Structure 1
Amino acid sequence: MGLAASPGGRPGSGGPRSLPDPSRRLDPAPDETRPPWPSPLLSRSRYDIDRVSARTGELAVALKGSCLCGKVTYEVDQLDSPIGHCHCKTCRKAHASPYTTTAGVLRSHFRITGGEAMLQAHESSPGKLRKFCSGCGTHVFAERPAQPHIILRVATLDEDPGQRPEFHIWVSHRVAWLDPDCPSFPEWQPGR
């Protein structure tokens, strides 16, 4: 399905039917601002990544995600900050993992589409709520309710977000036993 565009190329303006130029970057909608992550580490946002499919010329569809049992489901329109790995002790304990992979998403770009009643919260530090499925325990996102964004647990996405992690934070908490150079196998190790 094509997108209606004005001569300026804005979809949905009711102008003649045309496809956007896939090489052109889309600006955020006028009522949106750049994400609230002022940091030299976060020099690029999802706004700078092309949201037009080179194959079809249409706007990209929302990314879908879910918990392990599938009862909590959500959609995100875009990731509004780069993906990063957090090694802090709190994330390690919450996820039972050496680090967790996160990205900021503006609330206006995030929707729970199923199982909202299954979500429970744990206040891991003052004002920070970690939201998880009460059925399977999957930690889906974290939030500080007064902030305009949530912190998505990227591993809960059901598809590739089209970005790669750009940084590690809290490496002062990194576990000594994490060894990225140990042998890797596509599935189970031989002899299992």
Structure 2
Amino acid sequence: MGYCHCASCRSWSAGPVNAFTLWKPENVKVTRGAGQVGHFQKTPMSDRQFCTACGGHVMTHHPPLGLTDVYAATIPTLDFKPGVHVNYAETALPMKDGLPKFKDFPSEFGGSGEMVPE
């Protein structure tokens, strides 16, 4: 769990930062309205999913990483405990919370792994 500060996530979430939770795809299940989930393949890395009835953002599959990002706000019972900031070099909302801040992504996810100061 963490925060993404990239311009793409900010635009998609309509906010200055996007709170994410990462899951193995087999651990993600749409329990209501599965037939109303639309898709938009923004990049080979990101298959965005949204509700075709209300337009709400639901999740993004990241096939190359084998992970699904379920937006923290879509899980009302989730005890959100962020552990990291990614794409902090693009931040529009500096956050001084003591969490690690990656310039882009950790190297395990194809980024530089470079950290930036708060």
TM-score, normalisation: structure 1: 0.45
Aligned residue type for 1:136: C
- The Cα RMSD (Å) is 2.1
Matches for 1:156-175 after TM superposition, within 5 Å: 156-159=74-77, 161-175=78-92
**Alignment deviations for residues 64-92 of structure 1 (CA, whole Å, 9 cap, x no partner):** xxxxxxxxxxxxxxxxxxx1000001101
Deviation of 1:146 after TM superposition, in Å, equals: 5.5
User: Is this contact kept in 1: 2:41–2:47, CA < 8 A?
Assistant: yes
User: Is this contact kept in 2: 1:102–1:152, CA < 8 A?
Assistant: yes
2:36 to 108, 114, 118: 118
TM-score, normalisation: structure 2: 0.70
Q: Confirm whether residue 87 of structure 1 aligns to residue 5 of structure 2.
A: yes
- Measured in 1, the distance between the counterparts of 2:83 and 2:48 equals 23
User: Is this contact kept in 1: 2:62–2:69, CA < 8 A?
Assistant: no
- Measured in 2, the distance between the counterparts of 1:150 and 1:106 equals 6
Deviation of 1:179 after TM superposition, in Å, equals: 6.7
User: Is this contact kept in 1: 2:72–2:80, CA < 8 A?
Assistant: no
Q: Confirm whether residue 132 of structure 1 aligns to residue 31 of structure 2.
A: no
- Measured in 2, the distance between the counterparts of 1:149 and 1:127 equals 10
Question: Secondary structure of 2:26's match?
Answer: helix
**Alignment deviations for residues 38-65 of structure 1 (CA, whole Å, 9 cap, x no partner):** xxxxxxxxxxxxxxxxxxxxxxxxxxxx
| CA shift in 2, pair 1:124/1:116, >3 Å | same
Q: Which has the higher helix share?
A: 2
**Structure 2 equivalent of residue 103 of structure 1:** 21
Q: Confirm whether residue 152 of structure 1 aligns to residue 65 of structure 2.
A: no
Gaps (5+ residues) in structure 2? 97-118
Gaps (5+ residues) in structure 1? 1-82, 182-192
Computing the radius of gyration from Cα coordinates, the structure with the larger value is 1
- Measured in 1, the distance between the counterparts of 2:17 and 2:10 equals 5
Question: Secondary structure of 1:111's match?
Answer: coil
Identity of aligned residues (%): 25
Q: Which has the higher strand share?
A: 2
Aligned residue type for 1:174: T
- Measured in 2, the distance between the counterparts of 1:117 and 1:90 equals 26
| CA shift in 2, pair 1:100/1:112, >3 Å | same
User: Is this contact kept in 2: 1:143–1:150, CA < 8 A?
Assistant: yes
| Residue correspondences, number | 96
